[in-house]
Structure 1
């Protein structure tokens, strides 16, 4: 027998995760703007600077972190919407219930552990 899912607790966790993700996105946006501004103000050849990462690398790294954070925000918002619609906790692939332990570990999970496992050929 599986334990029941505390939807209110998971909604609270998702809301906290959402706020933290929004803060992370805002911080990364500021960092990105600072790197771009720094590249405009700098006339040095950072591509050949043996002391540190290039501005292009920093921009690329921040861009990747921003994309990942924005994707995560979409997942969290999707989970919150599913709670509001009453469909939270059902696997999007097979339709079975997602185990409470999985939802506690990953409240934005969209699939059960079986469907999330990599498929072998």
Structure 2
């Protein structure tokens, strides 16, 4: 890999890290807000929606934390199953993705 390619990759990872850190802060604030919101209306539908929002927010935080950890340890962009590189296009769409498409299909299979 040339020096220019490394610089571009480093810049892209720095931008991604900053974006993920912003997303982490946003999701943390959302989780805090949802946790503090304890208005029991007696409506089971509302309780279900609240629980679902909490679960989704926690999952987003886990995904962001995982991506930040992989960036920090240098494994970001490698499939966790086959260790092949995940295409940049896939990472751009799903920055928290852990598997390449073939392995993701086997994992969910």
TM above 0.5:
yes
Distance 2:107 2:68 in 1: 28
Aligned length: 101
Q: Relative contact order, CA 8 A, sep 6+: which one is greater?
A: 1
Q: Is the 8 A contact 1:10 1:104 kept in 2?
A: no
Determine the C-alpha separation between the residues in 2 that align with 1:16 and 1:69. 14
Call closer, same or farther: CA 1:74–1:100 in 2, change over 3 Å: same
2:95 matched to which residue of 1? 107
1:11 aligns with 2:17: yes
Deviations 1:48-81 (A, max 9, x none): xxxxxx2x22111111110111011011101101
Larger Rg: 1
TM-score, length-normalised on structure 2? 0.78
- Quote the Cα distance in structure 1 between the aligned partners of 2:108 and 2:27: 33
- What residue number does 1:83 align with? 71
Aligned to 2:52: 64
Separation of aligned partners in 2, 1:119 and 1:87: 19
Maintained 8 Å contact 1:13/1:107: no
Residue 74 (structure 1) aligns with: 62
Of residues 4, 18, 34 in structure 2, which corresponds to 1:28?
Answer: 34
Structure 1 gap ranges (5+): 40-53
